[in-house]
Amino acid sequence: MTQGQIAEHVDKIDRIGYTILEGLIAPDVVAEMAAAFEPIYQANLDTIRNDPNRGPMRHYIVLPFEPPLYQSAFHGHPAVFAIVRAILGDDVYCNQFASDTPAKGSVHQKWHADTAVNFTEDGKLQTPDLIAANTSFVDVTPENGPFEVCDGSHHDPDAIEKLTNQELEFRPLYLKVGDVLVRDPRCIHRGSPNTTDTLRGVAVLGFDREGTERGGHLVENGIRPDFYESLSRDEQRMYRKVPRIET
């Protein structure tokens, strides 16, 4: 990816809140991740049915940094790294790896941002401390719960109220297997219902600016020391704060 292309993606994330890198990952790589996710989802099924954490039949599951769920084609892709470093600085790090999955029976979420949306005294949006990168395990269609987003809404302090009152337009994002969505989590969005019998699983990475320490729940993520040492130096640098765990 050229410096000009990186700048275009960074500008798009700033203006509308997201950019889509089409066909970034080979479908067979995504298929390996999806197959590894299936038993993890099934192990959480009782909780998903009885006490889901993102609304009815919609659940957020923290995942291990472990192959075949960990794939350098996604976790270490130089294009993703280049974009998040351009936004969050060279010392950006990642220690969030999870899946947010709607199944049949899910409903529309309320409009929300994933983190605080702060403005300067003169009303300008402050620079972000977090960028997310998502890739879907299946093609995202109108029927299986697409992510709905309001372009540029992170620049509007009243966006949630306006969306609730149907005063702003929004759009569903339809991804193909292998696409990567890189987004500013402050852009206002919601999940929509999955009306099919197939899970709409998505792998999510959270990249943080150095100096910001979020969420103790992320200590559930872990990486084996020997696997960490097998990663490229660039990946080791990005995942330096993931806790080391034994199998």
Q: What pLDDT does 216 receive?
A: 44
Measured in whole angstroms, how far is the alpha carbon of residue 94 from the centre of its chain? 11
Q: Which residue has the tokens 């990249």?
A: 207
Q: In one letter, which amino acid is 213?
A: E
pTM for the whole structure: 0.95
Q: Which CATH number fits domain 3-238: 2.60.120.10, 3.40.30.10, 1.10.10.10, 2.60.120.620?
A: 2.60.120.620
Q: How confident is the model at residue 212 (pLDDT cuts 50, 70, 90)?
A: confident
Query: What CA–CA distances, in Å, run from 43 to 63, 136, 234?
Result: 12, 20, 33
Q: With contact defined as beta carbons under 8 Å apart, do 226 and 210 qualify?
A: no
pLDDT tens readout for residues 148-178: 999 999 999 999 999 999 999 999 999 999 9
**Segments making up each domain of the chain, as ranges:** 3-238
Whether residue 246 has pLDDT greater than 90: no
3 state SS of 124: coil
Q: What is the DSSP-derived secondary structure letter of residue 116?
A: -
How far apart are the C-alpha atoms of 209 and 213, rounded to whole Å? 9
Q: How many other C-beta atoms are found inside a 10 Å radius of the C-beta of residue 166? A: 8
Per-residue pLDDT band for 214 (boundaries 50, 70, 90) equals low
Provide the strand spans (E) within the chain.
Answer: 18-21, 58-62, 93-102, 130-136, 147-149, 171-173, 180-183, 189-191, 202-208
